[in-house]
Each structure stands twice: as structure tokens, then as C-alpha cells.
A and B are shown apart, each in its own frame.
Chain A
Amino acid sequence: MSVLKELTKGIYKENPVFRLALGLCPTLAVTSSVENGVGMGLAATAVLLCSNIIISLVRNLVPKKIRIPIYITIIATFVTIVELLMNAYFPALYKSLGIFVPLIVVNCIILGRAEAFASRNNMFMSIVDAIGMGVGFTLSLVVISTFREVLGNGTFYGMNVLPSSYEPAMFMVQAPGAFLTLGLILAFFNWLDLRKTGN
């Protein structure tokens, strides 16, 4: 696969959230504001990048039988590093994201890419794959959180974007709104697919 295709597949064709249905837990939880969505997206991308690099480097040194525990150890190490760095240098973001920072370790996207790609490809392609998937994940978080924050709070990244006469739909920034937004966006993507196949 060409490098460009590898890079862009994570953004649309194989978008981890909208197409592969991976990483759903943080997607619903941190998208109540665009700032949180971006923060989580970047943190997860950082972990994905580092773990893909290391795993592709050691891919021939990992016995098949214990590969999952080893991948998890490597991923958990980078998640803890991100946790520590975020707590030290971005404490406000660390507090907003709460338990979802350590939960990056069980984000199916990261373990999924380790197993499906980084363990079978060289470092360069693994980096490309990580960037593509990470950007796709971050974009999906931004899309969902834009809907939730604008409709549910009248703001975008903290800045007021709707006239003050708009009464925010509190429902959107709470749990039911998250489920609904994701459900409708997934339906939209299905509809796009059906149109393509001439249905």
C-alpha cells in the first residue's frame, strides 16, 4: 500500500470510531467539550505512535504465545508516561479527562493496531499507520464534541458561538446526548455507504 493511502485510510475509509467501532468508551465520555476531545485525541495518538514504534522494532523478539501481555506492558508504560507528563504540565486537562487517561491503555484502537499492523510491518509504515489512525480518532472526537458542545452549551472550545437567546440543550452534554449523537452519526455513515452501493 502506498504511504499516502496508509496515512489517509485512518481518516475516512478505516476511521477507528465511525467505521471500525473501536475506542467507543472514551469517545462518548470525553466529547462533552471540544477541548477535552482534542486533548484525549492527542494523548491517545501519542501513545499509539510510541507503542507502534516500539512494537514494530521488537516484533521479531516477541514470542507468539506471550505477545498480548508484552504488548499490554509496552502500551501501559507509555500510557503511564503520558499520565505523568499530563499531570505535571497540563493539570487542568488531566483533571477534566479524569479516569479516561489511564483507560487509554484499554483503548481497543491501540492494542488493535499493535496486533493487526505494528507486529507485521516495519517501523516507518507503523509510524504512518499510527499517525493516520490517531488523526482519524482525534477528528472523530472533534466532530462529535462539536455537536455536543455547540448544541448543549452554545460554545465551541469555550468560546460562545451561538446568540445568547439560544437556550442550550443540556441533554446534549450529558450521557443520553452522547449516545444519540454517536448513533445518528453512525447512521449517517451507513446511509452514505448504502447510497454508494446504489441502494
Chain B
Amino acid sequence: MREIFRLGLILMTYALIAGAALSLVGLKTMPVIAENLARAEEEARIFVLPAMNGGFESIEGGALSYWIGFRDEAKTVVGGYVFTALGMGYSSEIRTMIGVDENFAIVGTNVLFQQETPGLGTKIIEVSSGDSDPWYMRQFIGKSLPEQLKLSSDGGGIDGISGATISSRAVAESIERGLASLQETVGGNR
């Protein structure tokens, strides 16, 4: 009995020392990690909706969470909005971030996350040589009506990707839903 008690005590001592060491390292690194995360999110928003001198403000709750971008530092002139769209692709969920201007015309897109079939579904982020952004996502720029965001085979203005219908449709539908939801939410709050 004493033996188990002694062994347990020794193990606990090791655990306590380990815990102390970890807490020390944690105290130093966790603020850096949180800062990295915040900076990455801010950069993602700036990427899809640039030139917002007043930064972004997050509006949460309700049907859709989104950010308002302010053109001026005084935060009085709304420059546009940013929202994330989520769609079920072929083999993974596809997350995109969309920036629209004050008239809901899409100005920037970014595929945040996807794990589609390499060579087929991943064509949604394929960049042709000489270009700087994916040709598939570029189709969304300028459109402001949700109906335009369907695939052309579904009556809209977006050309799907042959061999990757499910991936391309998932992206288009999620952006269509997101834009419609944004217009409804913002329109209601105006």
C-alpha cells in the first residue's frame, strides 16, 4: 500500500513539474498565437474588400454573421460588407470569403478551405499561368444579384467546371445563399 502511495507521489511530482514548465511556455506563446489568428483573419478580410480605411466591424447573430467595412477612418461611410459562405463539396466542406461593395456587387473572393479531389474539384482554385487569381472565382466578380450566381446549367451566369460539377455548384450555391441572406439582413437593418 505504501509502495503505491510512494509511486503515485513520484508520478505526481513529475506531472507537477511538467505542468509548471508548460504553463511558463504557454504564457509566453498563447498571446502570440491569438495575435497571429486575429491578424490572419483581418488580412483575409482586407484581401476580399481592400481600401477600407476605417477597418471592419463584426455584426453577429441573426441569420448571418458578417463584417461592415468603412471607407473612412471615422467609420461613417460604409464601403462594403464581408461574409463567409459554406458549401458541401464533393469530399469536403468548402469555405469562401466574399467581399461586396455598398451596392452588394462582389469585389473580392477567397477560398478559405477545401479538400476536394486534386485535379478535379481543386480546379476551383486553379490559377492559369500568367494570371494572379483563380479563373473560376473571377466569374463572381461584379455580380450583385443572387440569381446571377447560379451555374449556367441552372439558369445563372457562372460557368461550371466540367468533371467537377458538385464542387463548382457547391461554391456557387453557397455564395448565392450568402449574398441573398446578406441583402435581406442588411436591407432589414437599414
Contacts and interface: CB of A to CB of B under 8 A. Distances in A.
Nearest to A173: B118
Interface stretch (A86-94, A108-116, A184-192): A86-94
Nearest to B17: A77
Nearest to A76: B18
B32 A66 contact: no
Interface string B21-63: 1100110011011001000100000000000000000000000
B118 A170 contact: yes
In terms of DSSP, what is the predominant structure of the interface of chain B? helix
Given A74-B18, A80-B22, A69 B29 contact: no
A88 B10 contact: no
B169 to A, nearest CB: 23
A188 B33 CA distance: 43
B21 A89 contact: no
Contacts of A70: 10-11, 14
Interface centre among B14, B30, B40 (most CB of A within 10 A): B14
Contacts of B7: 63, 65-66
A114 to B, nearest CB: 13
A81 B11 CA distance: 20
A85 B28 CA distance: 9
Interface size class of B (residues with CB under 8 A): 10 to 19
Nearest to B10: A63
Contact of B21 (A77, A88, A174): A77
B15 interface: yes
A69 B40 CA distance: 38
A84 interface: yes
Nearest to A81: B25
Given A66-B11, A69-B11, A170-B118, A84 B18 contact: no
A73 B25 contact: no
A36 B15 CA distance: 31
Given A80-B22, A84-B26, A85-B25, A73 B33 contact: no
B18 A77 contact: yes
| Top 4 A-B residue pairs of the complex, sorted by shortest distance between their CB atoms | A88-B32, A77-B18, A88-B29, A84-B29
